[in-house]
Amino acid sequence: MSPVVVFDLGNVLIEWDRRLLYEQLIDDPDLLDWFLDNVFTMEANQRLDSGVPLPEVAAMVAAEHPDHHDLVMAFADRWVETLGEVIAGSVTILEELARRGVRLYALSNWGRDTFAMIEANYPFFEHFDAMVISGREGITKPDPAIFELLCERHGFDPADAVFIDDSTANISAAASLGFDALLFTSPEQLREQLVERGLLDVD
């Protein structure tokens, strides 16, 4: 069987950060930090990842924080501005693995409707044999169920797969299921780790 490599998307292949949007709207750095810690939190964003539509997530947060209604609703209107640059070194690795015949999958916490907005914008997505998106499944990492769904649906054992993610919680969950789990910190480190595993050639 061909080797298997599973990639997270956000902050592994594509930069994503709520701050990229809100630093355009909130000039005061302290107020910006407070807003992200207390209003449009990562917990709020997890509702989106679990499959709640973007307008509903924004409306729920706006109802909880009516004094910040306009800032919250900007997340729905300008969500695409939370995306940054493609992480070019990671995309190069993905392309090299594809040329070597590695089976490639994406496993990402991402909203159903927000992923639909951008799915056609990244040609390198075509290298994936399949993509499992949390918002489509109603399950988010680090829940073991989404890892098990990926493996069962696509016919491989965790022990035969490398999993790459920037979240320590997701890495721990994957490792507990038997994946060779690699914490992503940079394309350079990832390349070294994949060379060590014989999945890429030394430059």
Q: What is the mean pLDDT of residues 19-29?
A: 97
pLDDT tens for 38-78 read 999 999 999 999 999 999 999 999 999 999 999 999 999 99
> What pLDDT sits at residue 20?
98
Residue 1 confidence (pLDDT) above 70: no
> What pLDDT sits at residue 201?
86
Distances (CA, A) of 77 to 130, 147, 165, 190: 29, 32, 28, 35
pTM reported for the whole predicted model? 0.95
DSSP for 12-75 reads TTEEE-HHHHHTTT---HHHHHHHHHHTS-HHHHHHHHTT--HHHHHHHHHHH-GGGHHHHHHH
pLDDT tens for 122-169 read 999 999 999 999 999 999 999 999 999 999 999 999 999 999 999 999
> What pLDDT sits at residue 185?
98
Residue 160 and residue 1 in contact, taking contact as beta carbons nearer than 8 Å:
yes
> What pLDDT sits at residue 202?
78
